Amino acid sequence: MVDSSLSLPSRENSDIRRVAILFAGGPAPAANAVISTAAASFLRADIEVVGIKYGYSKLVEYTPEQGLVEGRDYVILDHKLLSRTRNQRGILIGTARANPGKEVSHPSHLNDPERTRLLETTYQALCALKVDALISIGGDDTIKTANKLKLYQDGLPPESHHIPIIHLPKTIDNDYRGIDFTFGYFTAVDFLAEEVRNLLADAQANNSYFLAESMGRSAGWLAYGVAIAGEASLVISVEDIHGKYEDTEEIPDPETGEVIHRRVMNLENVIQRIVLTMTTRERDGKHFGVVVVAEGLAELMPHSYIEGIARDDHGHISISTINLREIFSKLILEEYQRQTGRFKKITPLQLGYEARCAKPHAFDVMLGSQLGVGAYRALIEERLNGVMVSVSGQLQLQYVPFEELIDPETLVTVVRFIEHNSDFQKLTRFLETYVNEEEIGRH
């Protein structure tokens, strides 16, 4: 006998009649599993669902005069629209990187009407849509925005319409604190690892190297996963920049002019580490390989490489402007020629964007679906506000308060790095070409 209470949600005496679902930031495989299942959970309880189109971009442009237009700015998600969408590529409601909280970087800023102008506009837009709650789906920047929108509402008069917010974590980078794996990560790893294996066969056929720059701005989860599954010769990410690979430099603060100390990579030693892998492989008769580097290393480049580079609404440096792979490939070739006197073809390329809308892996569909259900259960059954839905074990749902994920002073999320000397990192080092790192600096 099947317990129908496990499959048929109820209102649980909730006064919520209409919810909005919003997706922000970069795409991720299984996005539609999250959106579809979350929407279906509410619809089964006779709660109307509004899909906000293109992240916060339409909400921050809201004016009472122009209003929000169905079809252009939002869509009503019903069972017919959601039919057979869990495994679809892309994002049903689109996405964007608009950031209504970009002027708020400290709790005191919430008392400044000018700094909270876009948060107020977003709040007014949601009120105009007559929604009673917001389901936010996105990465670390999106949860920061969700938290700021919640804090903004906390400062409103008690009689104001308050819109509770439930956040669902999304990033193929898998660097989210509070959850072991994020939906889309395994799909991205699987997809990109296949590309690395193809590159490895190409490199072997030509006795050459590929320098593959993997997505992963803050942490190395994607780069490491791709290297393990793709059988890369070496992977280097931000977690590897310590000891002899780490350095500091003194630069003027762009705002105050005062000298500040900035942590950077020791670029010379990092390049020597890569060349050591190449020369070690040659001693074993292997004159080819694939080296994976995480794009986040760009943030640790010496100041001379990043001076004047623009930053986005979230304060991130424009990694594409730096072109890390091109710089690394040039320096690797120069060091290889210096050590060996020979030329070696090293082809730089980027991995990542082609994986963001790949056909979702079964696990990501299951994980995304559970997170979608978790949005309903957190809001309606648990009556929570300001929490991120998480899972552990047998997709057991957990609800993590924003305060445990975000620094209360800076309002910035805490990145989950690969732990130094963890078994996961040791596995990566074990599977790649073994080298004697004591040779670094001898050449």
pLDDT in tens, the chain (443 residues): 334 344 555 556 688 999 999 999 999 999 999 999 999 999 999 999 999 999 999 999 999 999 999 999 999 999 999 999 999 999 999 999 999 999 999 999 999 999 999 999 999 999 999 999 999 999 989 999 999 999 999 999 999 999 999 999 999 999 999 999 999 999 999 999 999 999 999 999 999 999 999 988 789 999 999 999 999 999 999 999 999 999 998 777 766 777 788 899 999 999 999 999 999 999 999 999 999 999 999 989 888 887 766 666 556 666 667 789 999 999 999 999 999 999 999 999 999 889 999 999 999 999 999 999 999 999 999 999 999 999 999 999 999 999 999 999 999 998 899 999 999 999 999 999 988 887 776 66
CATH class given for the domain over 189-354: alpha beta
Q: Which residues of 134-169 are buried (b: 16+ CB within 10 A; e: fewer)?
A: bbbbbbbbbbbbbbbbbbbbeeeeeeeebbbbbbbb
Cα separation, 78 vs 62, whole angstroms = 24
Confidence (pTM): 0.89
Common-topology check for domains 4-182+360-404 and 189-354: yes
Give the whole-angstrom CA distance, residue 335 versus residue 293. Answer: 17
Phi first, then psi: give them for residue 93, nearest 5 degrees.
Answer: -110, 10
Taking only the tens place, the pLDDT of each residue in 260-291 is 888 999 999 999 999 999 999 999 999 999 99
Domain locations in the chain as residue ranges: 4-182+360-404, 189-354
What CATH number does the domain located at 4-182+360-404 have? 3.40.50.450
Among candidate residues 87, 82, 94, the one with its CA nearest the CA of residue 36 = 82
- The identity of residue 162, as a single letter, is H
Taking the C-alpha atoms of residue 189 and residue 354, their distance in angstroms, rounded to an integer, is 11
| DSSP string over 210-231 | EEEEE--SS-SHHHHHHHHHHT
Other CB atoms within 10 Å distance of the CB of residue 355: 26
